[in-house]
Amino acid sequence: MEAKRELLDLLLSDARQSTEDIARQLGVDAATVEKLVDELESEGAVRGYQAVVDWDSVDEEHVRAEVELNVELDRETGYEEIARRIAKFPEVSSLRLISGSYDFAVDVEGESMHDVSNFVSEQIAPIPEVTQTVTHFVMTTYKERGVYFGDGDDDDRLAVSP
Amino acid sequence: MTENADRLSRRARETPPSGIRRFFELAEEMDDLVSLGVGEPDFSAPWAARAAAIDSLERGRTSYTANRGRRDLRERIAAHVTRYDLSYDPDDEILVSTGASEAVDLAMRALIDPGDAVAVPQPSYISYGPTVTFSGGEVVPVETHAENDFVLTYEDLERAGADEASILVLCYPNNPTGAVMTREELAEVAEFVREHDLFVLSDEIYAALRYEDEHVSIATLPGMRERTVVFNGFSKAYAMTGMRLGYALGPSEVIDAMNRIHQYTMLSAPTTAQFAAIEALDSCDGAVEEMRREFDRRRQFVISRFNEIGMDCFEAKGAFYVFPKCPPGWEDDEAFAEALIREERVALVPGRVFGDGGAGHLRVSYASSMGELKEALNRIESFVEDR
C-alpha cells in the first residue's frame, strides 16, 4: 500500500513521467511500476490521466461555471439517480454531492457564457427533481488541481551556493 | 585604492576567495541555466512559521532578545533534540545563533588558541577551514575516501596525524557528499577522540534529512557529551535559510564562552526568526516530513541516473547532495564542471572546492524540481555521450 500511495503522489504531480523515471524515484524496477499502475487502474483508484490547462493561455473561447444545484428527493428518486442523469452531459466536467446549503456542485464548461447558461436553463433546470440552480461564472483561475498558474519564475536562490 | 589593499589584515589578505565564487560568476552570465549547485531547499519555510514571523512583527516584537536566545525557544530546542537522544539544559547548555554558521565560528573562537591544530575531514563544507584560520588555528586535513562512501574512519584520522589536533570537526549527514555515519562508525571515531583527548565540533544541520535510518549524534556516545558541541538550525530542515537561525548545544562552560563572544558581536539572533522557529518546532513536523519524502524521491532518481550515465555515484543517504565521480576520461573536476556549464548550461560544483579529498567528484544538489533534475541529467548525459 505504501508503494501505491507513493506512486499515486508521483502520478498526481506529473502523470506524464516515464515508467523508468517513476521507477528510479521509487527505487524499484520498471516492471514493478507497470504492475502497480495496472492494479491501481483495475481497482478503479486511477480513473484517468488529464492535462491541467490554463485556458487563459489558449487562444480559444472557453467558459467555465460552477453551478450550485438543489434537488428534492422522493421515494423513487435518490441522489444516485439524479447524478447519473446529470453526469451523462458532456458539458458537465465534474459533479459532486456535497454537504451544506445546496446538494450538488456541478462544473459546466462551454465555448461561451451563452452556451453555459443555455445548457443550465435548458438541460439541468428542467430536471423534475431540481428545485434551484445558482450559476457562478469563473472569471480567472489562479490555481487548478494543485498547480499554481503564476509565472513560476520566483526562484531567487543563488545559482551556486555553499 | 591600492594603498588600502596594504591596510588589510594579513588574515584578510591571505583568505582565498571561495572556490564556488568562479562558478557562481559563470552561472550568473548564463541564460537557460539549470543549476544543481544550490545549497538550500527549493521549498519555502512552512506557512505556519512564516505566519508566526509576520505576527511577531505586527505585534511590534522587534527588540533584542536575551543573548542566548529567547528562553521559550531554548526550551523547545531542548525538547526537540530529545528525538536524537540528546539532553541539554535550556539555561546554560543551549545558545541560539545567527545561523548554525555563526555557532560554528563562535565555537572555533572559544576553543582555538593561535597555533592549535584542528582536524577537518575532507571533503567538507567550505567554511570550516577559513573559520579555523580566522581563529588563529591550523587546519589538519583528514581525507575521507570514495571507497568508504566518504565515512570518516579511525585509520583516516591516524593517517592524517589528527592525534596532534585539539579539535575534530564533523559534519554528518555531510555537505558535500551526502554521506551519513552509523552508530558503529561514529563509535570508532569517538574512540580515537577519547584516546587523543580531542574536542568535537559536530555540525548536524542536516540531521532531519536522513533517508534510510535515524540520525545518530556523536554526543550520545559514551564519554562524548562533555567533549562535544553539537550544531543544528532551521535552515535546511525547515527551509528557513534566509531567517539565519541556528543553535549550539554543549557543555555549559563552552556555551558560556561562546555566548560571551556572541554578546560582543551579534548580541542576539534575529528576533523575528526566533518567533518563526518556535512555531516551526511546535507545529511543522508534518511539513518537514513532506519535504524529506520529496527529497528522498529525487535522491533515488538522481543516483540512479548518474550511475546509468556512467558517473559512479555512491548511495548518499543524507542531506540533499550526491557526489558522483567525473565520467571516465575526465580526471579534473573543475575542467569538467566548467565545460559542462559552458556547453550545456548545467551548474555543478567541483568536488575539489570542498578540499583535496573531493577531487575527481562533483557536488550535485537535488534541491530542485523534478523537471529541472530531469533536464539537467539529460543535458549531462548528452554531454558525456558526445565526448
3-state DSSP assignment of residue A160: strand
Average pLDDT value for residue range A10-20: 95
- Kindly give the interhelix angle for A19-26 and A30-42, rounded to the nearest 10 degrees: 100
Q: Given a cut of 80, is residue A153 above it in pLDDT?
A: no
**Same domain assignment for residues B171 and B310:** no
CATH number of the domain where residue A15 is located: 1.10.10
- Cα–Cα distance, B7 to B1 (Å, whole number): 10
Considering the domain architecture, whether residues B291 and B259 belong to the same structural domain is answered as no
Q: Are residues A69 and A116 in the same domain?
A: yes
**Mean per-residue pLDDT for B347-361?**
95
Residue range(s) defining the domain that contains residue A117: 55-144
pLDDT of residue B164 exceeding 80, the answer is yes
Q: What total number of domains does chain B contain?
A: 2
Contact residues on chain B for A17, CB-CB shorter than 8 A: 370
Judged by CB atoms closer than 8 Å, whether chains meet at A24 and B24 is answered as no
User: Pick from B42, B125, B305: which is nearest to A24 by CB?
Assistant: B305
Say if B369 is an interface residue toward chain A (CB within 8 Å): no
In this structure, are residues B353 and B27 in contact, taking their beta carbons and an 8 Å threshold?
Answer: no
CA distance B291 to B238: 9
Instruction: Give the count of Cβ contacts less than 8 A between chain A and B.
Output: 59
Give yes or no for residue B1 having a pLDDT over 60: no
With respect to residue A47, please indicate whether it lies within any of the assigned structural domains.
no
Contact B39 A26 (CB under 8 A): no
Assign residue B165 the CATH number of its domain: 3.40.640.10
Same domain, A63 and A38: no
- Averaged pLDDT for residues B2-16: 87
Cβ–Cβ gap B27/A13 under 8 Å: no
Give the Cα separation of B364 and B38 in Å (integer). 8
Same domain, residue pair B34 and B100: no
Encode pLDDT of B241-256 as tens digits: 999 999 999 999 999 9
Whether A122 and A66 map to the same domain: the answer is yes
Q: B59 CA to chain A: closest CA distance, Å?
A: 29
The predicted structure's pLDDT at residue B2:
66
- Judged by CB atoms closer than 8 Å, whether chains meet at A162 and B39 is answered as yes
Last-in-domain residue among B251, B283, B315:
B283
Asked whether A60 and B333 are in contact (CB, 8 A), the reply is no
For residues B53 and B126, membership in a common domain is answered with: yes
- Cα separation, B287 vs B237, in Å, equals 9
B371, pLDDT greater than 60: yes
Q: What is the rounded average pLDDT of the residues B286-294?
A: 97
Angle between helices A19-26 and A2-13 (to 10 degrees): 130
Q: Does B24 touch chain A if contact means CB atoms closer than 8 Å?
A: yes
Compare all CA atoms of chain B with the CA of A28 and give the residue at the minimum distance. B300
Q: Are residues B345 and B223 in the same domain?
A: no
CB B350 within 8 A of CB B362: yes
* Cell reading at B14: 591571505
Q: What does the block give as the cell for B129?
A: 577551514
Could you tell me if residue A87 is inside a domain? yes
Residues of A in contact with B30 (CB under 8 A): 159
Has residue A149 been placed in a domain? no
Q: Do A128 and A121 contact (CB within 8 A), yes or no?
A: no
Query: B126: which chain A residues are within 8 Å (Cβ-Cβ)?
Result: 162
Pick from A65, A97, A74, A75: nearest CA to A84: A97
Here the CATH number for the domain that contains residue A134 is: 3.30.70.920
Q: Which of B28, B35, B301 sits opposite A24 (nearest CB)?
A: B301
Examine the domain organization and report whether A37 and A77 are in the same domain: no
**Residues A59 and A38 grouped into a single domain:** no
Give the domain range for residue B239. Answer: 47-283
A50 domain-assigned? no
Q: How many domains does chain A have?
A: 2
Which residues does chain B have within 8 Å of residue A158's beta carbon, measured at their own beta carbons? 24, 38
Instruction: Say yes or no: B171 and B198 in one domain.
Output: yes
Q: What is the mean pLDDT of residues A50-66?
A: 93
Residue tagged 564533523 (cell numbers): B170
- Report CB contact under 8 Å: B27, A160: yes
**pLDDT at residue B203 in the model:** 98
Read out DSSP for A58-126? SSS--EEEEEEEEE---SS--HHHHHHHHHTSTTEEEEEE-SSSSSEEEEEEESSHHHHHHHIIIIITT
Do A38 and A59 share a domain, yes or no?
Answer: no
- Please report the DSSP string for B332-362 in residue order: -HHHHHHHHHHHH-EE-EEGGGG-GGGTTBE
Are B288 and A1 in contact, with CB atoms under 8 Å apart? no
Query: Which of A107-116, B4-13, B287-296, B307-316 shows the lowest per-residue confidence on average (mean pLDDT)?
Result: B4-13
A30 and A67 in a single domain? The answer is no
> What is the least distance, in Å, from the CA of B304 to any CA of chain A?
6
Q: Does residue B323 surpass a pLDDT of 80?
A: yes
Query: Contacts of residue A161 in chain B, CB cutoff 8 Å?
Result: 20, 24, 37-40
Residues A74 and A38 in one domain: no
* Helix extents (H) in chain B: 2-7, 10-14, 21-28, 47-58, 71-80, 99-111, 128-134, 154-160, 183-195, 252-265, 271-283, 285-309, 333-344, 370-386
Q: How far is CA B69 from CA A131, B62, B97, B102, B176, in A?
A: 62, 14, 7, 13, 29
Report how far residue B205's alpha carbon sits from residue B228's, in angstroms, rounded to the nearest whole number.
Answer: 15
In this structure, are A35 and A63 located in the same domain?
Answer: no
**Pairwise CA distance, residues A135 & A133, whole Å:** 6
Query: CB of A10 within 8 Å of any CB in chain B?
Result: yes
Q: Is B374 on the interface with A (CB under 8 A)?
A: yes
Of A25, A157, A159, the CB nearest to B301: A25
Q: Is B66 exposed, middle or buried (0-12, 13-18, 19+ CB in 10 A)?
A: middle
Note whether A83 and A110 are same-domain residues: yes
Share of chain B above pLDDT 70, in %: 99
Q: Tell me, yes or no, if B382 comes closer than 8 A to chain A by beta carbon.
A: no
Do residue B126 and residue B235 come from a single domain? yes
Helix (H, G, I), strand (E, B) or coil at B162: helix
Is the per-residue pLDDT at A151 higher than 90? Answer: no
Specify the pTM. Answer: 0.93
Would you call A5 helix, strand, or coil by DSSP?
helix
Nearest-Cα distance to chain B for A138, in Å, is: 27
Distance from CA of A97 to the nearest CA of B (A): 30
User: Are B81 and B101 in a shared domain?
Assistant: yes
Same domain, B63 and B147: yes
Structural domain includes residue A48: no
Q: Check whether A154 has a pLDDT greater than 80.
A: no
State yes or no: cis peptide before B123, omega within 30 of 0: yes
User: Is some CB atom of chain A closer than 8 A to the CB atom of B347?
Assistant: yes
Q: Name the residue among B349, B314, B335 with its Cα closest to residue B387.
A: B335
Residue whose grid cell is 440552480 = A133
Q: Does B29 touch chain A (CB under 8 A)?
A: no
The span from the first CA to the last CA of chain B, in angstroms, equals: 46
pLDDT exceeds cutoff 80 at A13: yes
pLDDT at B318 over 70: yes
- Mutate one of B35, B212, B244 to test the A interface: name it (highest A CB count within 10 A): B35
DSSP B87-156: ---TTTSEEEESHHHHHHHHHHHHHPPTT-EEEEEES--TTHHHHHHHTT-EEEEEE--GGGTT---HHH
Are residues B265 and B298 located together in one domain of the fold?
A: no
Tell whether A33 and A71 lie within a shared domain.
no
Q: What CATH number corresponds to the domain at position B8?
A: 3.90.1150.10
ipTM: 0.85
B contact test, residue of A20, A148, A160, A161 with most B CBs within 10 A:
A160
Average pLDDT score, chain B: 96
Residues B169 and B317 placed together within one structural domain of the fold: no
From B241, B264, B283, the end of a domain falls on B283
DSSP secondary structure code for residue B231 in this structure: E
B24-53 pLDDT, tens digit each: 888 888 889 999 999 999 999 999 999 999
In terms of CA atoms, which chain B residue is nearest residue A156? B42
Do B314 and B261 lie in one domain? The reply is no
The rounded percent of chain B whose pLDDT value lies above 90 is: 91
Last residue of a domain, one of B221, B250, B283: B283
Average pLDDT, chain A: 95
* Whether residues A86 and A120 fall in one domain: yes
